[in-house]
Amino acid sequence: MTENHDKLKDSIAAYCLGALEQDEQQALESHLDQGCHECQEILTEMRLVVQSMPFSVPGEKPPAELKQRILTAVSTEEYAAPAVVSELKEGVARASKKLVEEAKQRWMRATWALSFAMVLSIIGFGVYTQSLKKRVALLENQVVIGAQLVEGLQSELDRQRRILNVVNSPNIRIVNLDGLDVSPSSQGVVYWDPLQSKAMFYAFDLPQPPSGKEYQLWMLRGTQPVDAGVFSLDEQGKGSSAIATLSDSAALTAFAVTLEPKGGSPQPTGDMYLLGVVTKG
């Protein structure tokens, strides 16, 4: 602090003569504004000295060659000034060009970075969209499968209800079907409710039908066969069929199963595998 104060104090004389640089002048004035009494007193004294200087120095006539030296110096400065100005302009132009180039490079780098980020975003969005589409398709497929499963379960439930309605009827009659020569180990059974005119048929141990063939159930009225529908087998050779309506059930004499072309036939054409006679109760 003392060293800075001494330096500012020493610059007061130059300040009064107007010989300080702008930053030095501002530093001293700031110091004076802070209330340094010593420096303010010196400033007052120095101003009095400067004001009295024109009266304390005797006037002398300047030498004759002084005017020529001044004119020569001014002339030299006039010629030198354009060169200095030109050099300054070139320097400013070079600096401006450099700043412009640096700004362009920064802009290009920022543009490339932004473009790259946008490309990555687009790719990422595309991948996400495809993944989302696959998930939606999978969910839609699962919904379809679920609906089919529910429909299948509902159908099976309805079938089981029909079976229970027939089997639990107090008027139930049972007709056993025996295997014939083409498949003596095969068996079948019909649960028949004459009052409801409904029946359920089950087959056991039937051989798997060849390609293009399937089994068909028949009801016999006397010797006249009546189509009762085709049925399929599971892997164990079991099959079943619901007979919704037995018209004129009192005239039934037997049930039979034959092997027919796929889709069934209007009249039996193939080998007979099962036969069961209806006994009169």
Locate 67 and state its tokens: 């005017």
Residue 90 lies in a domain: no
Q: Which domain holds residue 32?
A: 2-60
What number is the average pLDDT over the span 73-97? 60
**Rounded Cα distance, 206 and 271, in Å:** 13
Residue 73 lies in a domain: no
Q: For residues 272 and 186, is the Cβ–Cβ distance under 8 A? A: no
User: Which of 37, 60, 83 represents a domain boundary (last residue)?
Assistant: 60
CATH number at residue 197: 2.60.40
- pLDDT tens-digit map of 58-78: 555 566 676 677 666 655 555
pLDDT at 146: 82
* Number of domains, the chain: 2
pTM over cut 0.85: no
Which of 46, 34, 37, 54 is closest to 10 using CA atoms? 46
Sorted by sequence, the CB contacts under 8 Å of residue 238 that are 6+ apart come out as: 202, 203, 204, 205, 206
- pLDDT tens-digit map of 99-140: 667 767 877 777 777 777 787 778 887 888 888 888 888 888
Residue 107 lies in a domain: no
User: Which of 45, 60, 75 represents a domain boundary (last residue)?
Assistant: 60
How crowded is residue 205: how many other Cβ atoms within 10 Å of its Cβ? 15
Residue 185 lies in a domain: yes
Which 3 state secondary structure label does DSSP give 272?
Answer: strand
Confidence of residue 93 (pLDDT cuts 50, 70, 90): low
User: What's the alpha-carbon Rg for the chain, to the nearest Å?
Assistant: 61
Average pLDDT value for the chain = 80
How crowded is residue 202: how many other Cβ atoms within 10 Å of its Cβ? 16
Residue 262 lies in a domain: yes
Residue 184 lies in a domain: yes
Confidence of residue 202 (pLDDT cuts 50, 70, 90): very high
Instruction: Look at the chain and count its residues.
Output: 281
User: Which of 44, 60, 76 represents a domain boundary (last residue)?
Assistant: 60
**Rounded Cα distance, 111 and 75, in Å:** 54
Between the alpha carbon of residue 216 and those of residues 116, 233, 255, the distances in Å are: 71, 11, 11
Which 3 state secondary structure label does DSSP give 12?
Answer: helix
CATH number at residue 48: 1.10.10
pLDDT at 212: 95
Residue 114 lies in a domain: no
Which of 137, 141, 172, 167 is closest to 249 using CA atoms? 172
Half-sphere exposure at residue 25, Cβ-oriented, CA atoms within 13 angstroms: 9
Sorted by sequence, the CB contacts under 8 Å of residue 185 that are 6+ apart come out as: 179, 205
Which 3 state secondary structure label does DSSP give 259?
Answer: strand
pLDDT at 70: 63
Residue 126 lies in a domain: no
Locate 185 and state its tokens: 């180990």
